[in-house]
């Protein structure tokens, strides 16, 4: 299980779900830079998309190793955050590369050991733009993603493939379902499967500047406790990390041997968000093999 190689004949699927509600206007801190949560999430998504395309590039040619979707949810709408003409569902990496936006520069503030603060520029492509307004229709977004995943897994060409990975990024409670309904629909997503395994659903709750002291990053299923009902709900909504992927988690939390882990982060910092998203893409890359010419 979770061992299928990813190549042009056996593609992977990668979905990011983004809470675009009004609460995402709240500020958080990325390194030494204060930014709205919506801007941080957009930046992280852009970096991950760039990374996936880079991994699919061989000899300056982008090969169709992945199907990618970025789904936003706000007020009463569920929509693709990728610009047209990429469409509302999955876009393969070859198509993405044909409509790649121009590079932009982001200046990251970095404090040196002597106390001086410098700007470190790095380039990225703005595949998605930050959005923050309205309510949080997370349940409807999960229904949309469940249907996308079920259809992808049912295709004959995908039946043996590495299962899809879904990362849901939010900062608050949904407005269109009870906790029990959210857990049920999340479990429906988890049950969507290929012959290589069930879909991996990762839930990330992003912290604010005055973030709660209750923080959880890939908690151990054997040791998990919390007084937060919302944290417990996210735990129940998230997939179990399969044993073959536990070394990726051990490397991040540096507590080897505490698995099995649950695929969630509660009150995550922007840097922890990036680590979680990278785990999602690394889970794909751990099964990636460079094809011979």
Cis peptide before 2 (omega within 30 of 0): no
HSE (side-chain half, CA atoms, 13 Å) at 150? 12
Which residues are registered as beta bridge partners of 171? none
Q: Looking at the domain assignment, is residue 281 inside a domain? A: yes
Contact criterion met (CB below 8 Å) for 14 and 280: yes
Span 33-44, average pLDDT: 92
Would the pLDDT of 286 be above 50? no
Q: How far is CA 225 from CA 93, 215, 216, 278, in A?
A: 40, 11, 10, 25
Tens digit of pLDDT for each residue in 169-223? 999 888 899 999 999 999 999 999 999 999 999 999 998 776 556 788 889 888 8
Q: Looking at the domain assignment, is residue 123 inside a domain? A: no
Q: Looking at the domain assignment, is residue 201 inside a domain? A: yes
Contact criterion met (CB below 8 Å) for 15 and 165: yes
Would the pLDDT of 287 be above 60? no
Instruction: Choose between 253 and 154: higher pLDDT.
Output: 154
> What is the C-alpha to C-alpha distance for residues 17 and 142, in angstroms, rounded to an integer?
9
Would the pLDDT of 78 be above 90? yes
Q: Looking at the domain assignment, is residue 114 inside a domain? A: no
Tens digit of pLDDT for each residue in 103-118? 999 887 777 778 788 8
> What pLDDT was estimated at residue 58?
83
What is the residue range of 136's domain? 12-101+130-285
Contact criterion met (CB below 8 Å) for 256 and 250: yes
Residue with tokens 């500047």: 209
CATH number of 185's domain: 3.40.50.410
Burial of 142 per CB tally in 10 Å (0-12, 13-18, 19+):
buried
Q: Looking at the domain assignment, is residue 117 inside a domain? A: no
Angle in degrees, 0-180, between the axes of helices 270-285 and 246-253, rounded to the nearest 10: 150
Q: Looking at the domain assignment, is residue 125 inside a domain? A: no
Which residues are registered as beta bridge partners of 225? none
Would the pLDDT of 63 be above 70? yes
Cα angle 293, 86, 38 (rounded to 5 degrees) comes to 110
Please tell me the total count of domains within the chain: 1
**Among 44-53, 72-81, 151-160, 282-291, where is mean pLDDT lowest?**
282-291
Q: Looking at the domain assignment, is residue 174 inside a domain? A: yes
Q: Which residues contact 171 (CB under 8 A, 6 or more apart)?
A: 19, 23, 24, 26, 37, 205, 206, 207, 208
Q: Looking at the domain assignment, is residue 109 inside a domain? A: no
**How does the average pLDDT of the chain come out, rounded?**
87
Report residue 265 as tokens.
């982060």
Q: Which residues contact 41 (CB under 8 A, 6 or more apart)?
A: 18, 19, 24, 130, 169, 206, 273
């Amino acid at each position: 299980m979770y061992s299928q190689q990813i190549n042009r004949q056996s593609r992977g699927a990668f979905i990011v779900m983004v809470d675009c509600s009004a609460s995402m206007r709240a500020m958080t801190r990325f390194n030494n830079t204060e930014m709205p949560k919506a801007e941080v999430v957009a930046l992280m998504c852009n970096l991950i998309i760039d990374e996936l395309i880079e991994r699919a590039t061989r000899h300056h040619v982008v090969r169709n190793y992945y199907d990618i979707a970025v789904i936003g949810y706000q007020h009463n709408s569920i929509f693709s955050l990728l610009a047209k003409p990429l469409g509302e569902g999955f876009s393969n990496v070859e198509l993405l590369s044909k409509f790649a936006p121009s590079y932009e520069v982001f200046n990251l503030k970095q404090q040196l050991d002597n106390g001086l603060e410098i700007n470190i520029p790095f380039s990225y492509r703005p595949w998605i733009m930050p959005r923050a307004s309205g309510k949080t229709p997370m349940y409807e977004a999960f229904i949309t993603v469940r249907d996308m995943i079920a259809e992808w897994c049912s295709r004959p060409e995908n039946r043996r493939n590495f299962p899809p990975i879904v990362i849901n990024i939010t900062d608050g409670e949904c407005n269109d379902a009870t906790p029990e309904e959210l857990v049920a629909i999340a479990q429906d997503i988890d049950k969507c499967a290929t012959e290589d395994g069930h879909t991996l659903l990762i839930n990330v709750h992003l912290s604010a500047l005055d973030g709660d002291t209750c923080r959880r990053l890939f908690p151990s299923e054997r040791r998990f406790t919390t007084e937060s009902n919302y944290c417990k709900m996210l735990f129940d909504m998230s997939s179990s990390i399969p044993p073959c992927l536990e070394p990726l988690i051990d490397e991040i939390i540096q507590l080897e041997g505490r698995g099995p882990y649950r695929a969630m982060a509660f009150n995550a910092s922007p840097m922890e968000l990036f680590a979680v998203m990278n785990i999602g893409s690394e889970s794909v890359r751990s099964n990636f093999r460079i094809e011979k010419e």
